[in-house]
Amino acid sequence: MMSGQWGVAARCLCLAPGPWPLAPDMKLAIVDYGAGNLTSVKKAFAHLGADIFVPGAPRDIDGADAVVVPGVGHFQATRSLTAEWRAAIRASLDRGRPLLGICVGMQWLYEGSTEAPDSEGLGVIPGRCTRLTGGTANLKVPHVGWNTLAMPRPSSLLDGVPAEASVYFTHSYAGPVNAATAASTEYGERFAAAVEENLVMGLQFHPEKSGATGLRILDNFLRRVAALAAPAV
């Protein structure tokens, strides 16, 4: 049972927030393209001590040590991520800076979605997102609620997350399970709950609404960013 935005477990979470000793000046860019959960994601990262900013233009990403693309709602909203934004985000990856997509932001990492066939994804994760069917049990779609994670392989993003930890979902579309999948779950059918491939990471669930487990995952992301941003010794 959750209590408040973070829940009882989150209020008891023993994670030391930043500043990050390896890279105390690291900056996190959270992209606002008008798709929903920007404020709650910002609050979660701020709770962990991250130095965050919302870039006003694609060129502003140049100053970030990592990029986060959140989002809820319809995949069509990602059309606001124009060619200039795509180029800036890809350039950030090319410079060795991590990218995290959350919910629709994770779906955007794929090649596209049947929800908006004329809107292309970033294409850094193979496959296309499709609508949940509800399976043979005819489960209600959208899928809203808590599900357990199955983690088939080690992942820096999910380091320290207990087996079968529960996280909070609210969505109607999801990405396929493939080699990039770091965690999956089942709701009438199995789909990708988290992806990690080199510097590209994504979460279909909402870490900012998933209590201690969600904060642990965001903390893992920040620790990886800090390690990459740390000056060479």
Domains belonging to the chain, first-starting first, are 24-228 (3.40.50.880)
Is it the case that residue 52 has pLDDT exceeding 60? yes
C-alpha–C-alpha distance, residues 213 and 10, integer Å? 8
**What is the model's pLDDT at position 174?**
98
pLDDT (0 to 100) of residue 26: 87
Question: Cβ(69)–Cβ(100) under 8 Å?
Answer: yes
Q: Residue range 54-80: average pLDDT?
A: 95
Pick the catalytic residue from 47, 143, 171, 206. Answer: 206
Q: pLDDT tens digit string along 117-176?
A: 999 999 999 999 999 999 999 999 999 999 999 999 999 999 999 999 999 999 999 999
- Any catalytic annotation for residue 111? no
pTM value is 0.90
Express each pLDDT in 172-222 by its tens digit: 999 999 999 999 999 999 999 999 999 999 999 999 999 999 999 999 999
Q: Which pLDDT score is estimated for 4? A: 33
Find out whether 195 and 180 touch, Cβ atoms under 8 Å.
yes
Active site residue 208: yes
| Partner residues linked to 69 by β-bridges | 101
Q: Before 142, cis peptide (omega within 30)?
A: yes
Residue tagged active-site, from 47, 103, 115, 196: 103
Question: Residue 24: is its pLDDT beyond 90?
Answer: no
| Angle 67-71-74 from CA coordinates, rounded to 5° | 140
Which of the following is catalytic: 115, 171, 196, 208? Answer: 208
206 a catalytic residue: yes
- How many angstroms separate the CA atoms of 67 and 54, rounded? 10
